[in-house]
Chains A and B, each alone.
Chain A
Amino acid sequence: MAYLRSILRSGKNGVPAVLRREFHRTLPAAMQVTVRDAIKEAMDEELERDERVFLLGEEVALFEGAYKVTRGLWKKYGDKRIIDTPIAEIGFTGIAVGAAMAGLRPVVEYMSFNFSMQSVDHIINSAAKTYYMSGGLQPVSIVFRGPNGAAPGVAAQHAQCFAAWYGHVPGLKVVSPWSAEDAKGLLKSAIRDDNPVVFLENEIMYSVPFEMSEESQSKDFLIPIGKAKIERKGNHVTLVSHSHVVSRCMDAAAVLAKDGIECEVINLRTIRPMDMEAIETSVMKTKHLITVEGGWPQFGVGGEILARIMEGPGFGYLNAPAVRVTGVDIPMPYAKLLEENTLPQIKDIVFSVKKMLNV
């Protein structure tokens, strides 16, 4: 039943959802929720809980969201709380930050984080730096959310990953959920956080259903920002990833398990502040580290993790130099064959693990 629902809901994304769903169906009786619905639930609950929370962005109200993430919210909460904006990213981001300075708690939706580049001055100079510059006088409680990174067939201007860009900035918290539970718990935490949070979703994940524990159904279910999750335990190599690429790591781990190689897969969940402790603890056990991301290699998330491992206690435990598996250092091409070979595939992860372990 949930299987059918997910196909119908996901439309063109139905095929990948089917393929991935095969892996994630675990206990038969648990509730299945797509990442999209989990995000919506989080916003619905927080809108209900706090009068000051409101949503704004392009097509979020009447159209029910470009990716239908906000479906039903405008009907429930009306014009005051769910605001359709004109196509004016720098304008409406500035307006949202101003509203946050005056005490409201806006959630800004970018139809794609690629469009946030227009607004980046407000995210960084008006939001991230303000509490510090004002010596603690002016907090800015705001969430910037939307799909980030690759999506099938959208080509170069619509497929960039901004995790490294925003992860660079002190004063911002940057979150990158993978599962439905991640999405719900982290978005609720982000909205309740009194600081600017960049919430990087991913279009590929929207239609993917996940099992949601009973605990996660509660209206007060929060996942703390800054804590990674070990999605799969293993002893031979640590794979660290975030967002949709976690799925590929899990799939690669399943393939490697057949050869007796047990991967420990860490879902970062938060890019900034990064949970280095979780990574180091894992590395001390497995002695091998591979970071896996969809973004570009130069100055990326993987680069940061490797630098920190070098500088920290984990380095002494490594039996081989840590490596990064990343997107190819090119703008995203359109043709399917080329696009597929621009992101790390399951076979690339498997290859890298075997190369590192010399098998």
Chain B
Amino acid sequence: MDRGSVVYVDTGNSFSSRRIHHFLCENGGPPSKQDDTGIVQRVMSRILRHSVFDINLLFNVLHQLEFVLGSQEYREGCKVQLLIIDSVSSLITPVLGGGSSQGYSLMTSLGVLLKKLAHEHDIAILVTNHMVSGERGNPKPALGESWKSIPHVRLLLSCNYETNTCNISTLKHPSLQAAGRSASFVID
């Protein structure tokens, strides 16, 4: 019971438990027939998916999580170690802009809440963002300049379709050695 749990907040019905099962099992057969040791089932039962389609509901989920993490029962149970929000830009883009500043204030308060959760409860938080076209057709990250300062680390993923390799590079990192570096990988 001292292993960590993962909370996955899904905004686009993209959470695929089948894919997770592929990662865990080398041969992809039906789940009920495999897994004699029960380890795959145990690992997968620690990944919790919550579907959220509204920025206000996201705040509800995060406040709920904050409450539970601070409560007495939680300290005796199993820890949340990773919170994934996929993706934050699809929740914020509908409210951003349009003359009113409510969108910006929601975005900034979301950022502050996430940083608070990460700091006070030792959680790693992974947030995904989209690339949209900027000036002269070059892609830039969505959510603009105000969001840039909120994450501690920013990573950029890109894919080369001809060679089918992907590249990950650090756009921003608190440590000097890590900033500006990149690595290649493939997705099977």
Whether A and B are associated in the same complex: the answer reads: no
Which chain B residues have a beta carbon within 8 Å of chain A's beta carbons? Answer: none
Which chain A residues have a beta carbon within 8 Å of chain B's beta carbons? Answer: none
